[in-house]
Amino acid sequence: MNIQNNNNYLITVTGPTAIGKTAMAIEIAKYYNCPIISADSRQFFKEMNIGTAVPSKEEQEAAKHYFIQNISIFDDYTVGDFEREAITVLDELFKKNNVVVMVGGSGLYIDAVLKGFDDFPDIDNSVREQLKEKYETLGITYLQEELERLDPEHYSNVAKENPQRLMRALEVCSGSGKPYSSFLNIKKNSRNFTSIIIGLEAEREVMYSRINQRVDLMVQAGLIEEAKALYPHKNLNALQTVGYRELFSYFDDEYSLDFAIEEIKKNTRRFAKRQMTWFKRKEETKWFNFTTSPHIVINYIKENL
């Protein structure tokens, strides 16, 4: 528990994809009659629904949600933008409620709200252009090897299959002459709330089984049709994500449909593993098995308010 303000409390529900975060967050929000802020960067986009597991209409009616399908895939939206907007919304919400729930699996976005976005130096655009050219000609392996060489500390934590994250880190390394990790956590922004973090987890085999089942349900719900509608825009940053990228390869005749679906499952399992690595580093998180009754979690929260 991170104590900043004894009057306002931000209850954050984290954990890997498909673990049941939304359902738990809604139960907590219903108990405290408070709203929910989503910190799932994939659910921000109004054009994406099935593949990002956006909360259903019934779930959104059960508790007021913010930052669900609030921007377009065509918008340029950064974690810094999210931090500024989320803090502004929280300031307003805390005028009416002394408890707000935040839920999501995007660790970087959660950290931005809880402790502030790290202050990086301005880098000349030419550095990023050069990195893009290297990526296009040499592939993602080049980015991975360069980051491991220039900043092994950040390399050990970064999402290694995400070229945007790799290029952003390399951009700072190359442009500043300092490791990306050296700019992290330098300044602590003040927050007008006390943070309580709840983590949901499961045995790896159970977690992977839930992911496989969710992907099958997404396909049944129309994921292929959703991806087909987005296919003309496949090069946008917002669509460089699991569940869409694999189907774009199917539409390009690079994958069979069955193989694309298996790739979605495999890459989602890898994503969940990276999420757990990120969240497990936070010693202040109180972990519960995903089957834990919400009232047990709420009792823990009550004891710490």
With CA atoms as reference, report the closest residue to 224 among 202, 186, 195, 250: 250
Any known ligand binding at 20?
Answer: yes
Any known ligand binding at 16?
Answer: yes
- Please, what's the largest Cα pairwise distance for the chain? 57
The neighbour count for residue 297, using CB atoms within 10 Å, is 20
Alpha helices in the chain (DSSP H): 21-32, 57-62, 79-93, 107-115, 125-138, 140-150, 152-155, 163-176, 204-221, 223-230, 245-251, 257-280, 294-304
- Give me 147's structure tokens: 């980051």
Report angle CA 279, 276, 292 to the nearest 5 degrees: 90
- How many whole angstroms separate alpha carbon 300 and alpha carbon 305? 9
- Give me 150's structure tokens: 């220039």
**Dihedral (Cα; 215, 218, 219, 220), 10-degree rounding:** 120
The neighbour count for residue 102, using CB atoms within 10 Å, is 26
Any known ligand binding at 141?
Answer: no
Any known ligand binding at 51?
Answer: no
Any known ligand binding at 21?
Answer: yes
Contact status, residue 36 vs residue 224, Cβ threshold 8 Å: no
Contact status, residue 180 vs residue 151, Cβ threshold 8 Å: yes
Any known ligand binding at 159?
Answer: no
Q: In angstroms, what CA-CA distances link 230 with 216, 234, 243, 246, 253?
A: 20, 7, 12, 13, 16
The neighbour count for residue 258, using CB atoms within 10 Å, is 9
Rg over alpha carbons for the chain, rounded to the nearest Å, is 20
Residue positions in the annotated binding site? 15-22
Residue positions in the annotated binding site for ATP? 15-22
Residue positions in the annotated binding site for substrate? 17-22
